[in-house]
């Protein structure tokens, strides 16, 4: 498929977006997205391959997938399957051949049956999301990743991603060929999305009681605009009757993995927005001070306003403001929940921000584990200080602001105690 045709198809699938919408700002200083050298898990793996410190193994069925997941430490349990034709290799995707997504805290991998490439996106502390492909042709033990700075941004840089190179998950109805039925609408999904509106175009395995969703559902165009009956798609623990699951690394599209994925996407985008906002604001401030002959470091009101706005938005995502409530227990099928909880640091009382609740909300302690991630740690000191100071205020005020009223006194105490042990910079804000 030619680049021009690919861009056209992607624009048709994202009709609200113009070509490369929102790209101009971050292509200029101080970000210089396309011209800057990435530093992320994929770029570091490429360096190890070039230095013969690592190798990738190829096999006829999965290409480099198995070996790549191993090198990037991406768990197979995270597999999520999407059958809507809403990504680069759309001709490979259908309900019989869904696209598989795998992820960890800082990298995402997409795999299509008989696909030409593996699709990767990595969380880069300075550049946000960086996109790559890896050819699925046997290129020996040291294949080369190709970075993309154009066609991926058609969909992955817009208001849907907070105006930065980022990730998005969509829920939309599809027909038996996987074609999106856009007349029925489309929804950008994150942890604020009500469960009944999630997972259109996705396979879902797991139990969730009487909660409904749009996963595992295929409809005609006539059905898409009327009352939907997804009885057969609910509380599924197996997909073997829907497509050949043996052609994937796992037979699951775990509901818990999907929920964590959707939360993580939102927070990653907000971290990137915060990173770009503070650096752009300070760059503008330096330029204006020079032009106005102000003393170096003179603080502009616009700088304070831009940092404050981005810090507030990031904190809201970290503390799961507006999280859609759960009305029944959710249980996955792949072992993802257990693996996820086991990989995070714990405080002296055994508590972790990766502990899942999955009864009335996603996390037992409603503060995102990504506050401990390299991307958050790499934030400019002014932005990090603004977020952590606001966080300390929310957690210590006798009565939190209405925006944070979903946090009980016990929630705030637990989060404060966990962060005081696991995040030294947070502890320092109390001094």
> How far apart (Å, rounded) are the C-alpha atoms in residues 98 and 115?
11
Average pLDDT score over residue span 101-124: 97
Residue 9 confidence (pLDDT): 36
Over the chain, what is the mean pLDDT?
92
CA distances from 132 to 39, 153, 373 (A): 13, 12, 21
CA distances from 350 to 97, 368, 371 (A): 42, 17, 18
- Residue 315 CB: number of other CB atoms within 10 A? 24
Q: Is pLDDT at 410 greater than 90 in this prediction?
A: yes
Residue 225 confidence (pLDDT): 83
Q: Is pLDDT at 101 greater than 50 in this prediction?
A: yes
Q: Is pLDDT at 151 greater than 90 in this prediction?
A: no
Residue 183 confidence (pLDDT): 86
Q: Is pLDDT at 11 greater than 70 in this prediction?
A: no
Average pLDDT score over residue span 84-101: 94
Q: Residue 3 is inside which H or E element, if any?
A: helix 3-13
Residue 108 confidence (pLDDT): 98
Q: Is pLDDT at 21 greater than 80 in this prediction?
A: no
Q: Answer yes or no: are the C-beta atoms of 342 and 350 closer than 8 Å.
A: no
Q: What is the pLDDT of residues 186-221, one digit of tens each?
A: 899 999 999 999 999 999 999 999 999 999 999 998
> How far apart (Å, rounded) are the C-alpha atoms in residues 120 and 123?
10
Residue 88 confidence (pLDDT): 82
More confident residue, 11 or 89: 89
Residue 400 confidence (pLDDT): 87
| 326: Cβ contacts below 8 Å, ≥ 6 apart | 195, 211, 358, 359, 360, 361, 362
pLDDT band (50, 70, 90) for residue 87? confident
pLDDT band (50, 70, 90) for residue 75? very high
- How large a percentage of the chain has pLDDT more than 70? 92
Residue 155 confidence (pLDDT): 64
CA distances from 171 to 85, 258, 310, 344, 366 (A): 12, 12, 26, 29, 24
Burial of 123 per CB tally in 10 Å (0-12, 13-18, 19+): buried
Residue 153 confidence (pLDDT): 64
Q: Is pLDDT at 252 greater than 80 in this prediction?
A: yes
CA atoms in the 13 A half-sphere facing the CB of 229: 1
pLDDT band (50, 70, 90) for residue 161? confident
pLDDT band (50, 70, 90) for residue 22? very low
Please tell me the least confidently modeled range out of 98-112, 179-193, 239-253: 179-193
Q: Answer yes or no: are the C-beta atoms of 379 and 396 closer than 8 Å.
A: no
Residue 16 confidence (pLDDT): 34
| DSSP line for 310-356 | HHHHHHHHHTTTTPPPPSS--B-SSSHHHHHHHTS---TTS--TT-B
Q: Is pLDDT at 13 greater than 90 in this prediction?
A: no
Residue with tokens 């200080």: 385
pLDDT band (50, 70, 90) for residue 408? very high
pLDDT band (50, 70, 90) for residue 54? very high
Nearest to 257 by CA among 332, 192, 171, 188: 332
Crossing angle (nearest 10°) for helices 255-292 and 301-318:
170
Q: Give the dihedral of Cα atoms 19, 23, 24, 27; nearest 10 deg.
A: -140
> How far apart (Å, rounded) are the C-alpha atoms in residues 142 and 50?
7
Q: Answer yes or no: are the C-beta atoms of 123 and 107 closer than 8 Å.
A: yes
| 417: Cβ contacts below 8 Å, ≥ 6 apart | 347, 349, 351
Q: What is the pLDDT of residues 375-385, one digit of tens each?
A: 999 999 999 99
- Alpha carbon 311 to its chain centroid, in Å, reads 19
> How far apart (Å, rounded) are the C-alpha atoms in residues 140 and 218?
40
Partner residues linked to 108 by β-bridges: 103, 121
Q: Is pLDDT at 160 greater than 90 in this prediction?
A: no
Q: Answer yes or no: are the C-beta atoms of 259 and 191 closer than 8 Å.
A: yes
Q: Is pLDDT at 185 greater than 90 in this prediction?
A: no
Q: What is the pLDDT of residues 327-363, one digit of tens each?
A: 999 999 999 999 999 998 999 999 999 999 999 999 9
pTM score, two decimals?
A: 0.92
Residue 154 confidence (pLDDT): 60
Residue 5 confidence (pLDDT): 39
- Residue 262 CB: number of other CB atoms within 10 A? 23
- How large a percentage of the chain has pLDDT more than 90? 84
């Amino acid at each position: 498929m030619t680049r021009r045709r690919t861009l056209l198809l992607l624009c048709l699938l994202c009709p609200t977006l113009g070509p490369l919408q929102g790209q101009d700002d971050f292509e200029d200083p101080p970000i210089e997205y396309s011209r800057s050298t990435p530093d992320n898990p994929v770029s570091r793996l490429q360096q190890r391959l070039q230095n013969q410190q690592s190798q990738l193994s190829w096999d006829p069925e999965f290409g480099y997938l198995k070996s790549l997941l191993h090198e990037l430490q991406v768990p197979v349990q995270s597999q999520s399957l999407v059958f809507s034709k809403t990504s680069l290799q759309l001709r490979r995707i259908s309900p019989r051949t869904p696209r598989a997504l795998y992820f960890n805290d800082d990298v995402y991998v997409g795999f299509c049956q008989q696909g030409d490439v593996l699709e990767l996106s990595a969380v880069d502390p300075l550049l946000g999301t960086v996109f790559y492909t890896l050819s699925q042709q046997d290129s020996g033990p040291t294949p080369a990743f190709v970075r993309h700075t154009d066609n991926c941004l058609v969909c992955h840089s817009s208001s849907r991603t907070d105006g930065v190179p980022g990730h998005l998950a969509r829920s939309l109805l599809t027909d038996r060929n996987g074609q999106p039925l856009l007349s029925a609408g489309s929804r950008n999904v994150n942890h604020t999305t009500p469960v009944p509106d999630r997972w259109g175009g996705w396979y879902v395995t797991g139990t969730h009681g009487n909660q409904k969703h749009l996963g595992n559902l295929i409809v005609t165009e006539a059905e898409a605009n009327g009352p939907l009956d997804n009885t057969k798609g609910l509380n599924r623990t197996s997909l073997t009757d829907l497509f050949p699951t043996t052609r994937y690394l796992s037979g699951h599209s775990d509901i818990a993995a999907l929920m964590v994925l959707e939360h993580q996407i939102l927070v990653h985008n907000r971290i990137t927005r915060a990173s770009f906002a503070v650096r752009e604001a300070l760059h503008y401030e330096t330029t204006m001070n020079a032009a106005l002959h102000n003393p170096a470091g003179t603080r502009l009101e616009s700088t304070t306003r831009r940092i404050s706005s981005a810090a507030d938005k990031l904190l809201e995502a970290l503390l799961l403001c507006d999280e859609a409530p759960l009305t029944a227990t959710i249980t996955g099928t792949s072992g993802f929940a257990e693996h996820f909880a086991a990989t995070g640091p714990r405080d002296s009382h055994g508590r972790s921000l990766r502990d899942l609740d999955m009864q009335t909300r996603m996390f037992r302690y409603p503060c995102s584990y990504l506050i401990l991630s390299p991307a958050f740690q790499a934030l400019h000191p002014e932005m990090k200080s603004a977020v952590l100071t606001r966080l300390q205020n929310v957690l210590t005020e006798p009565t939190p602001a209405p925006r944070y009223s979903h946090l009980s006194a016990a929630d705030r105490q637990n989060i404060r105690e966990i962060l005081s042990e696991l995040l030294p910079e947070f502890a320092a804000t109390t001094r």
